[in-house]
Chains A and B, each alone.
Chain A
Amino acid sequence: MKKILALVLACVMALSMFACGGNTDVENTGDATNNNNEVVENAGTLKIGGIGPTTGGAAIYGTAVKNAIELAVNEVNANGGINGMTVEFMWEDDEHNAEKSVNAYSTLMDKGMQVLIGTVTSAPCIAVVKEAELDNVFMITPSGSAVASIDAPNAFRVCFSDPDQGIGSANYIKNTDLAQKVAVIYNVSDPYSNGIYEKFAAQAAEVGLEIVAAEAFTNDSATDFSVQIQKVKESGADLLFLPIYYEAAALILDQANSAGLDLPVFGCDGLDGVIGQLGDKADLAEGVMLLTPFAADATDDKTVAFTTAYVAAYGETPNQFAADAYDAVYIVKTAIEAAGITSADISASDLCDAIVEQMTAIEVDGVTGKMTWSADGEPTKEPKAMVIKNGAYAAM
């Protein structure tokens, strides 16, 4: 009997949540219509969608992107919208899964999405880009860095592509004479890491860097790096290149320290966040160099304004994903303004054609630097090399 009671209670609870959820939804749409009424004499509401993981292992990236888009959209709306159009932002979770990502995309299309900012992670992006190409919806990914992530004429990106990072890293190490013999530890099961490593190796051979050790690990073995560290130690390298994300990098730094390996470390934008991940061992990150377009501690006005606003709204320092997403909103704004679109009463496909036409012409000065785009969707911007000094990023 007790069991039944408990079950009934659980069901009632579930139902009440259902009701609550429904209510908030209604309220939201209420707000949107209110906004709509205020600007109705202007130009209507432009619907921008976002897709990324806000649950699951990659949730930190999706959450950062979602927050930053929200922040930028609020700013844009507070300053009169885009050509008078109010921006409405809709977000769907994809759990860093290509299958769920396509489902999320369909849901957004049902809700009348006109521009897509996303998806956040590479592999889901590759699946969604083909759907967006079929529907001819303009899409700009803040952080999907695999080459195939924007394999469509209507897809663009804010971050560097994986090969660019690999080539850029090899060139930088060679040109600044950081090292002659490089050891690499990379994640063979991760397209991001693999993509960078592949191009890094090719470019290293070209410019005359010697890769003395290339040790792989997988997502399933990303906790113990003693074997890889030992091999790096024996290889006689004078630099350790880590084209991986910061969680694993923090473990490697810690374990390398215990194993007595003391090499300078060089990484890409995935290393952003390593200081926070190390926690009270943050001094291990001292001297780590990374190639990234964004540093939260930079002192230019744009970055300071963005960082302060982000910290005030969400209580944490924005990472590079947030910065890319923040820029993405302003890129969309710039392109729509350049195209001279003044009414949101336009189909996603027509809007897409108009934006794509402008994308190769505009230049956007964002928190990740000055950017221009080529027709294949790749951004051109200066990578900045940062070094961690006294627990903060400093330009090199």
Chain B
Amino acid sequence: MRKCEVTGVKKLTLSATAKDRYTTYGLVVLIAVAVQLFVSYGNASNSFKGLLVPTCVYVLAALSLNLVVGVSGELSLGQAGFMCIGAYVGATFSVITAESIASDAVRFTIAILLGGIVAGVFGFLIGIPVLRLRGDYLAIVTLAFGEIIKSVCGNLYLSADKNGLFVALDVKAKSAHAFDAATKVDYVNGALGINGIPRTSNIRVNEWAFVICMAVILIAVIVMLNFIDSKQGRAVMAARDNRIAAEAMGVNVTRSKMTAFVMSAFFAGVAGVLYAHNYNVLDTSNFDYNQSILILVFVVLGGMTKMRSVMISTIILYVLPEALRGLNKWRMLIYAIVLIAMMLINNSVAIKKLVEKIQAKFAKGAENKEGGAA
């Protein structure tokens, strides 16, 4: 790839993949700038501002899942589990260090990295046995993993007093523990989750939150697209298209799939950290099986190929139910109809032909015009 780019520069033109990549980067920057201008100078409503950060969270989660589903062709149903890990690790870190780290920016950056890394480590641990297997085992294991994580986080108690941290997975153990009442602080409280997360990323508090989130997305997109264009990335795609052929060519399928999977887990964890920092409260109820399916729907309806189409489909599908609020009880029905319509349109041969016909006509028209001008 590097070679290819060098020759591209010499000719002062970009290769097709590079062009494609820069289009995606451009799209991210364009959205970030346009929306931020609207928020800063336009008349943005509360609900518009409130939707910015959650939309970014889901875009990032969908992009990360696309690495597994679209690029490596495996089915993963545990993206919410990785988000949950990221959210809990990031939020716990922020709550504990709320006073000891004065700078919001530093604390937030460390929380993002920490949440992503821990999620990535879990991705690695799951990947070791599962990615060696053929078949739909990844779907089964990630599904179970998501539920386990949800259950563990929902039963986690983390408190501290002057004697140090106290961790328990059972409220009985916590009530049996003798705390120093004067210095006792509860960080994580079982089913009640985490309260009092510093709201550094909330758009209401920080007017640059959207730009921060989009910057994170931009970094994610740069890393992902470079990965796809790298030796490892092409190995992953080769294995997706024909595993036997890829192995015959000497591709280490497990290793390349592992790279994609860990990267996916890392960015899902980062999405979780962003999510946690947008609300004052965090509990496990939103990281269930439905959440994983929702993210999968974003990816599948985005076509599972290009990162930017996944991004666009996520934005549309996440914002739609909120935009339809004015319709009251009809909104869920219409949302369902839109989902079905998108699914049909995505897979309809007739519509694809229609689009091709129109494109061909336009191309012809342009040719004729050019011909006429000449």
B276–chain A nearest beta-carbon distance, Å: 11
A218 lies within 8 A of B151 (CB): yes
A106 lies within 8 A of B350 (CB): no
A211–chain B nearest beta-carbon distance, Å: 10
Contact with B along A3-17 (1 / 0, CB 8 A): 110010011011001
Which residues of B in the span 281-298 have a Cβ within 8 Å of any Cβ on A? 281, 283-286
A47–chain B nearest beta-carbon distance, Å: 14
A11 and B195 CA atoms in complex are apart in Å by 44
A188 lies within 8 A of B192 (CB): no
Contact with A along B339-365 (1 / 0, CB 8 A): 011001100101100000000000000
A300–chain B nearest beta-carbon distance, Å: 35
A188 lies within 8 A of B191 (CB): yes
User: Interface residue count for A (Cβ, 8 Å)?
Assistant: 53
B279 lies within 8 A of A102 (CB): yes
Q: Which of A127-135, A172-180, A232-240, A332-340 contacts B (4 or more CB under 8 A)?
A: A127-135
B147 lies within 8 A of A220 (CB): yes
B285–chain A nearest beta-carbon distance, Å: 6
B46 lies within 8 A of A109 (CB): yes
Tell me which residues across on chain B come within 8 A of A4, comparing CB atoms. Answer: 348, 350-351
Given A21-B327, A103-B51, A191-B283, 11 further pairs, Cβ under 8 A? A4-B350, A10-B337, A18-B327, A21-B326, A25-B326, A54-B329, A98-B281, A99-B279, A103-B322, A126-B195, A197-B171
B22–chain A nearest beta-carbon distance, Å: 33
A107 lies within 8 A of B325 (CB): yes
A135–chain B nearest beta-carbon distance, Å: 8
Tell me the dominant secondary structure on chain A's binding face. helix
A194 lies within 8 A of B51 (CB): no
Interface presence of A110 (CB below 8 A): yes
Interface presence of B333 (CB below 8 A): yes
Interface presence of B204 (CB below 8 A): yes
Tell me which residues across on chain A come within 8 A of B37, comparing CB atoms. Answer: none
**By CB atoms of chain B within 10 A, which of A21, A105, A109 has the most?**
A21
A218 and B151 CA atoms in complex are apart in Å by 9
B260–chain A nearest beta-carbon distance, Å: 28
A214 and B330 CA atoms in complex are apart in Å by 44
A287 and B208 CA atoms in complex are apart in Å by 59
A148 and B337 CA atoms in complex are apart in Å by 38
Q: List 10 A-B contacts (CB under 8 A).
A: A11-B341, A17-B330, A17-B334, A22-B326, A104-B325, A110-B47, A126-B281, A130-B199, A134-B204, A218-B151
A25 closest partner in B (C-beta):
B326
Which residues of B in the span 7-38 have a Cβ within 8 Å of any Cβ on A? none
Tell me which residues across on chain A come within 8 A of B3, comparing CB atoms. Answer: none
A3 lies within 8 A of B344 (CB): yes
Interface presence of B269 (CB below 8 A): no
A56–chain B nearest beta-carbon distance, Å: 10
Interface presence of A357 (CB below 8 A): no
Tell me which residues across on chain B come within 8 A of A105, comparing CB atoms. Answer: 50
**Among the listed B51, B193, B340, B350, which residue makes an inter-chain contact with A10, where contact means beta carbons less than 8 Å apart?**
B340
A194 lies within 8 A of B49 (CB): no
Interface presence of B40 (CB below 8 A): no
**By CB atoms of chain A within 10 A, which of B175, B191, B322, B326 has the most?**
B191
**Among the listed B191, B205, B322, which residue makes an inter-chain contact with A190, where contact means beta carbons less than 8 Å apart?**
B191
A126 and B189 CA atoms in complex are apart in Å by 14
Interface presence of B45 (CB below 8 A): yes
Which residues of A in the span 9-39 have a Cβ within 8 Å of any Cβ on B? 10-11, 13-14, 17-18, 20-22, 24-25
A98 and B193 CA atoms in complex are apart in Å by 12
B195 lies within 8 A of A103 (CB): no
A152 closest partner in B (C-beta):
B280
B195 lies within 8 A of A18 (CB): no
Which residues of A in the span 62-119 have a Cβ within 8 Å of any Cβ on B? 92, 97-99, 102-107, 109-110
A124 closest partner in B (C-beta):
B281
Interface presence of B54 (CB below 8 A): yes
Known: A3-B350, A4-B350, A220-B147. A106 touches B45 (CB 8 A): yes
Tell me which residues across on chain A come within 8 A of B191, comparing CB atoms. Answer: 188-191, 193-194
B155 closest partner in A (C-beta):
A188
Known: A14-B338, A18-B334. A146 touches B192 (CB 8 A): yes
A130 and B195 CA atoms in complex are apart in Å by 11
Tell me which residues across on chain B come within 8 A of A134, comparing CB atoms. Answer: 204-205
A197 and B348 CA atoms in complex are apart in Å by 55
B192 lies within 8 A of A148 (CB): yes
**Among the listed B199, B205, B325, B332, which residue makes an inter-chain contact with A92, where contact means beta carbons less than 8 Å apart?**
B325
**Among the listed A14, A92, A151, which residue makes an inter-chain contact with B337, where contact means beta carbons less than 8 Å apart?**
A14
B192 lies within 8 A of A127 (CB): no
A134 and B280 CA atoms in complex are apart in Å by 12
Tell me which residues across on chain B come within 8 A of A14, comparing CB atoms. Answer: 334, 337-338, 341
A54 closest partner in B (C-beta):
B329
Interface presence of A201 (CB below 8 A): yes
A172 and B348 CA atoms in complex are apart in Å by 66
Contact with A along B165-199 (1 / 0, CB 8 A): 00000011001000000000000001111010001
A55 and B279 CA atoms in complex are apart in Å by 22
Interface presence of A312 (CB below 8 A): no
Tell me which residues across on chain B come within 8 A of A13, comparing CB atoms. Answer: 337
Interface presence of B73 (CB below 8 A): no
A60 and B351 CA atoms in complex are apart in Å by 42
Tell me which residues across on chain A come within 8 A of B46, comparing CB atoms. Answer: 106-107, 109-110
A18 and B334 CA atoms in complex are apart in Å by 8
B46 closest partner in A (C-beta):
A106
Interface presence of B154 (CB below 8 A): yes
A127 lies within 8 A of B281 (CB): yes
B280 lies within 8 A of A17 (CB): no
A13 and B341 CA atoms in complex are apart in Å by 12
Interface presence of B242 (CB below 8 A): no
Tell me which residues across on chain B come within 8 A of A3, comparing CB atoms. Answer: 344, 348, 350
B167–chain A nearest beta-carbon distance, Å: 17
A22 and B327 CA atoms in complex are apart in Å by 7
A103 lies within 8 A of B279 (CB): no
A92 and B316 CA atoms in complex are apart in Å by 21
A385 and B175 CA atoms in complex are apart in Å by 28
